[in-house]
Amino acid sequence: MTDFAKVNCVFKPDRKLNPTEMLRAIKFAVSSEFEAIQIYQQIMESTDDKRIINVLKEITEDEKKHVGGLYKLLEFLSPADNEIYQEGYAETVENFTDGE
């Protein structure tokens, strides 16, 4: 599989990804989006400069939209995984509302 984890990995793979590799790549992309959100939030908490905060808030919102799009891709690419995600979602809602 192509090494997506290296920041300096800029070469084009010599072949297209197979379905399993594509699923892994999209999952890695989701993780990367969440990591970017965390970094931007830490930067915002580290400054009083409203200009920086405003720009990073907008970028953070864009990253969250990317996560949504990538989750939708995961839903299409792996319906079986999506069923498990939905079970976890339902269990969490149930546990969360039981704790009120």
Q: Which of 63, 41, 61 shows the shortest CA–CA distance to 53?
A: 41
Category of 17 on φ-ψ map: left (φ > 0), alpha (ψ -120 to 50) or beta: beta
8 domain-assigned: no
Residue 62, domain extent: 19-98
- Cα separation, 26 vs 65, whole angstroms: 14
- Cα separation, 38 vs 3, whole angstroms: 23
Q: Which pLDDT does position 15 carry in this prediction?
A: 84
Q: Which pLDDT does position 45 carry in this prediction?
A: 97
How many folded domains does the chain comprise?
1
Residue 78 φ then ψ, to 5°: -140, 80
Residue 3 has pLDDT above 70, yes or no: no
31 domain-assigned: yes
Residue 1 has pLDDT above 50, yes or no: no
93 domain-assigned: yes
Predicted model pTM:
0.78
